[in-house]
Structure 1
Amino acid sequence: MAEKIIMFCRYYVLLIVLLPYRTLQFFYHKLSFQVSRASNLDAAEGIENHVPIEPKLSSSFITDSEIQSEFAHHAPGVARMNNGSFGCCPASVISALQQWQLKLLCQPDHFYFNELEDRILESRYKIKDLINAEDVDEVSIVDNISTAVAIVLQQAAWAFAEGKFNKGDAVIMFHCAYGAVKNSIKAYFSRAGGYVIEVQFNFPLNSNEEIISEFSKALEREKGNGRRVRLAVIDHVTCMPSVIMPVKQLVKICREEGVEQVFIDAAHGVGCVDVDMQEIGADFYASTLYKWFFCPPAAAFLYCRKSATYSDLQLHHPVVSHRYGMGLAEESFWVGTRDYSPYLVLPSAMEFVKRFKGGVEGIIKMNHDAVVEMGKMLAEAWGTNLGCPPDMCASMIMIGLPSCLGISSDDDTMKLWAHLREKFGVEVRIHYQAPKDGEVVLTTGYVRICHQIYNKVDDYYKLRDTINQLVHDGFTCALEVYILPSSTLSVCKLEQQRHTTHCNFLNLVCLLFIDLGFYVSLQLNEA
């Protein structure tokens, strides 16, 4: 009996000692299981419902060092003053882009069928608010301006085909319309039987009145000839030469003169100038989001104002897919399997913009003030002029180049453009302004510089010094000639003799300089 009592006591003591341990162990494992299960669920949701992590932003405004960090991926040693061509994308937005791309690759079925539409709709709502549109249905996201132009002009082509437009009905545009837009007009409008009115204005410009006057005269002239103008295509900011167009006044003139529809090509729109659909009043407005609003290529939008004269059901994306006939926004949402990530990072780009004092308006003002200051500095250094008054410049400005560079054709501009980029690491655009018949002008070449938040003053000093060096070295762009003084050597070297007449003339030029005691080294391109 005593042994049983002792055995019972041993078990009792053991139970008292072990029970708390086992209890804690049980709850520990249960808790671990729950944590593990939650982690697994989170991991699964990371594939299904993960939203890209927004960059950690400081409560204060962005600093200069943070700006340089955001663009540290830019090629070192290159003076990038051509933001207007392809834009820029900060590291925080690139990170969001990569997360969206990874999300697509993780589980395409879920991404395409369960999430993409909502995310694109979110971006459309943000665009609607950004441009002060009345309805989100007026906003369609597309990849670039070329697509937006094709949408509008395709409608016009069908209007000719269906007898709604008559042969000879016109589209009016400016001579400086973007080349791709001109080609689209040729492909859709002219080919269908339309007539193109091309309005010229002088450059350099002194005021908006010069543009408005030429536009009004062209419309009145064609109206007097009995021609019906169906569509006007107007830039908000022209590419080359770069000028802010008086779009509000031009739209008003179109309404007064009976132009049926107005399309604004705003490749340099959002992030470059103030954009308000209610104030502008155009029927169509297309802007990129990658040139001046920090999205990656290629993301843009087309605004189509609600009107009693047409429905968005009459507008179609040029790429026909499963949502054909459901409205332009729906058609644009899905154009087949592709990477839609650039459309989805707009919220991240907007968060980046909020880090700047004044937001997008503050960035626009800062870029404008800086590019005007740099433009004046360059014009003074080269003894030339600005292409237009500062109030007609956005974040880009035109500056006359020294006439001794000899820019006398569009081919010359391409040569100098490539020469500056490849040899000196200077990225700008060059414009040739052809003189009118009988006109004698000293400046026929202009450089377009841009300013974006990553630019430094040293970029513009590098451009200034490079051009000054070319002038000092006797570089002549038209013939790629370096004429150097020499007291001992008289040589005329013609490396290529493809064009006999041209080369005979060059021989005479060379002999003239040789007689004057110069050394002439002349290089002719294949082209």
Structure 2
Amino acid sequence: MASFHTIHGSGTTHQAEPITPSELRSEFSHHDPTVARVNNGSFGSCPSSIISAQQRHQLLFLRQPDYYYFNTLKPSILESRRIIRSLINADHVDEVSIVDNVTTAAAIVLQHYTWSFFSSAFKPGDAAIILNHSYSAVKKAVRAYISRAGGHVIEVPIPFPVKSDDEIILEFQNSLQMAKANGRKIRLAVIDHITSMPSVIIPVKELVKMCRDEGVDRIFVDGAQAIGNVEINVKEIGADFYTSNLHKWLFCPPASAFLYCKMSDELSDLHHLVISHEYGNGLAMESGWVGTRDYSAQLVLPEVMEFVSRFDGGIEGIMRRNHKKVVEMAELLSEAWGTELGAVPEMCSSMVMVGMPACLGIKSDEDALKLRTHLRECFGIEVHMYYRAPMEGEVDQITAYARISHQVYNRVEDYHRFRDAVNKLVKDGLTCSLLPN
């Protein structure tokens, strides 16, 4: 049984009652009961009590929007920013802005660097460096903003499967050295904290330090999957910018995320993509009002903190248990299928890559998507699939990995269903070439 936890907020202190198994089921009773949902990493999950808190904000605004705008919205956003500041160990609340998602945060930072090219502060050919496994939307944003402005984009080839941090550090160092040998000035490094696909925890502190030592101007850490999943200490990480989605692993509704900008003179030059009434009052204020829209998803952090406090150890306890359970389930699956994990357990968060049986004949991204769709439509299993091109000389190679997640609503039966479905496909001799497009 979970222990009692103290909640601090709004000037009050009280004891949170430990959540019971029946209450936990009720909090996620809106999930489709026919689906084994082992893909929390894509869209996150939101408890019923948080949805109710969001709806209260929505109704308060609709009931009397003028009052809500002048008296409730700004202080509520400020309270959420204060909670985030505490969670990530930022020095000051002014370093924290709330935005819709990580894609928006990345665009805010990249837009700033585009203007640096246009203003001739940067020279054509100056570079940005990213990981080859960076999230597709962010990778495309880097190319759209930097390449079109005359900059060069360098991709670091991170190996997968990966066995140690040293492999990642070595590849990153090699890419930096090659870039410097070509005489390029690296203006921005974009480093994932946890790569989305394939999912691996990146040694961000070591890579940030390397960037500093090698003279990289600024470092932006994409922690889309991080908050509520792994510990974040922005002062220890040492990057100039850090962003994470609040709706992935911290139980907020979409769309809600934060962008941390280390206090500096440059911070005053960052602006939200949407110019509205708060323009010129700092990024945090600009982000707090981008016109009439629904801000409710960004205002429920107090209720989220109350929800997580009902679990033994709070959010830290949830993270530990999610990691332990997802590794256990991944090992169960890989043993059943005779495959391997995509990374050692200590490089995994609450998501693990599990090799799929080679006999399924997954030979392309399209095949991986077809199999994912087949599992959803025929077996009620929602799971992400990753295709890996075979390396030269491999025999009976694993060409695809499933990314499984574990969140508090998951049950062992979810993973057993996935195991049994794949075993049936193998027994029936099904290959992806037989699946419809």
Band of TM-score, shorter chain: over 0.9
Per the TM alignment, residue 434 of structure 1 is displaced from its structure 2 partner at its CA by 0.9
Spell out, residue by residue over 1:477-507, the C-alpha distance to the aligned partner (whole angstroms, 9 max, x if none).
Answer: 1x126xxxxxxxxxxxxxxxxxxxxxxxxxx
User: Which structure 2 residue ranges, 5 or more long, are not aligned?
Assistant: 1-9
User: Which structure 1 residue ranges, 5 or more long, are not aligned?
Assistant: 1-52, 482-523
Provide the residue aligned with 2:417 in structure 1. 462
Provide the residue aligned with 2:383 in structure 1. 428
C-alpha separation between the residues in 2 aligned to 1:114 and 1:367?
A: 39
Spell out, residue by residue over 1:57-103, the C-alpha distance to the aligned partner (whole angstroms, 9 max, x if none).
Answer: 98542122221111111111110101001101111111101100100
Per the TM alignment, residue 116 of structure 1 is displaced from its structure 2 partner at its CA by 0.5
Per the TM alignment, residue 322 of structure 1 is displaced from its structure 2 partner at its CA by 1.1
Determine which of 398, 402, 407 is the counterpart of 1:452: 407
SS across alignment from 1:140: strand
CA contact (8 A) 1:396 1:448 kept: yes
Provide the residue aligned with 2:355 in structure 1. 400
Determine which of 419, 433, 444 is the counterpart of 2:374: 419
Provide the residue aligned with 2:141 in structure 1. 184
C-alpha separation between the residues in 1 aligned to 2:393 and 2:190?
A: 30
Spell out, residue by residue over 1:244-278, the C-alpha distance to the aligned partner (whole angstroms, 9 max, x if none).
Answer: 00001000100000111111111111100000111
Aligned in 2, Cα 1:151/1:441: closer, same or farther, shift over 3 Å? Answer: farther
Q: Does 1:409 align with 2:382?
A: no
1:268-287 aligned within 5 A: 268-287=225-244
Q: Does 1:266 align with 2:223?
A: yes
Determine which of 68, 71, 91 is the counterpart of 1:114: 71
Aligned in 2, Cα 1:474/1:142: closer, same or farther, shift over 3 Å? Answer: same
Q: Give the number of aligned pairs.
A: 425
CA contact (8 A) 1:435 1:441 kept: no
Provide the residue aligned with 1:79 in structure 2. 36
Spell out, residue by residue over 1:263-308, the C-alpha distance to the aligned partner (whole angstroms, 9 max, x if none).
Answer: 111111110000011111110000011100000001100000013x
Provide the residue aligned with 1:157 in structure 2. 114
Determine which of 220, 223, 226 is the counterpart of 2:180: 223
Determine which of 223, 237, 242 is the counterpart of 2:194: 237
C-alpha separation between the residues in 1 aligned to 2:328 and 2:125?
A: 47
Per the TM alignment, residue 166 of structure 1 is displaced from its structure 2 partner at its CA by 0.6
1:329-408 aligned within 5 A: 329-408=284-363
Aligned in 2, Cα 1:228/1:414: closer, same or farther, shift over 3 Å? Answer: same
C-alpha separation between the residues in 1 aligned to 2:261 and 2:15?
A: 37
- Which amino acid letter does the alignment assign opposite residue 121 of structure 1? L
SS across alignment from 2:155: strand
Determine which of 145, 148, 163 is the counterpart of 1:206: 163
Determine which of 251, 270, 289 is the counterpart of 1:315: 270
Per the TM alignment, residue 440 of structure 1 is displaced from its structure 2 partner at its CA by 4.7
CA contact (8 A) 2:125 2:150 kept: yes
CA contact (8 A) 1:161 1:192 kept: yes
Aligned CA RMSD, in angstroms, stands at: 1.3
SS across alignment from 1:264: strand
- Which amino acid letter does the alignment assign opposite residue 356 of structure 1? F
C-alpha separation between the residues in 1 aligned to 2:132 and 2:392?
A: 17
1:76-155 aligned within 5 A: 76-155=33-112
Q: TM-score, normalization: structure 2?
A: 0.95
Provide the residue aligned with 2:434 in structure 1. 480
Aligned in 2, Cα 1:438/1:197: closer, same or farther, shift over 3 Å? Answer: farther
Per the TM alignment, residue 311 of structure 1 is displaced from its structure 2 partner at its CA by 2.6
C-alpha separation between the residues in 2 aligned to 1:64 and 1:256?
A: 50
Aligned in 2, Cα 1:434/1:215: closer, same or farther, shift over 3 Å? Answer: same
C-alpha separation between the residues in 2 aligned to 1:155 and 1:59?
A: 43
SS across alignment from 1:124: helix
C-alpha separation between the residues in 2 aligned to 1:209 and 1:461?
A: 34
C-alpha separation between the residues in 1 aligned to 2:261 and 2:123?
A: 24
CA contact (8 A) 1:408 1:444 kept: yes
Q: Which structure would you say has the larger RCO, counting Cα contacts within 8 Å and 6 or more residues apart?
A: 2
C-alpha separation between the residues in 1 aligned to 2:412 and 2:374?
A: 22
Per the TM alignment, residue 441 of structure 1 is displaced from its structure 2 partner at its CA by 5.4
CA contact (8 A) 2:16 2:306 kept: no
Per the TM alignment, residue 180 of structure 1 is displaced from its structure 2 partner at its CA by 0.4
1:293-308 aligned within 5 A: 293-307=250-264
Per the TM alignment, residue 190 of structure 1 is displaced from its structure 2 partner at its CA by 0.7
Per the TM alignment, residue 438 of structure 1 is displaced from its structure 2 partner at its CA by 5.5
Percent identity, aligned pairs only?
59
Per the TM alignment, residue 461 of structure 1 is displaced from its structure 2 partner at its CA by 0.1
Q: TM-score, normalization: structure 1?
A: 0.79
List, as ranges, runs of 4+ consecutive aligned residues in structure 1 with deviation greater than 6 Å.
none
C-alpha separation between the residues in 1 aligned to 2:396 and 2:96?
A: 45
Structure label with greater radius of gyration: 1
Aligned in 2, Cα 1:59/1:114: closer, same or farther, shift over 3 Å? Answer: closer
SS across alignment from 1:290: helix
SS across alignment from 1:263: strand
- Structure 1 window deviating more from structure 2 (64-73 vs 396-405): it is 64-73
Provide the residue aligned with 1:7 in structure 2. none
CA contact (8 A) 2:390 2:397 kept: no
C-alpha separation between the residues in 2 aligned to 1:135 and 1:411?
A: 46
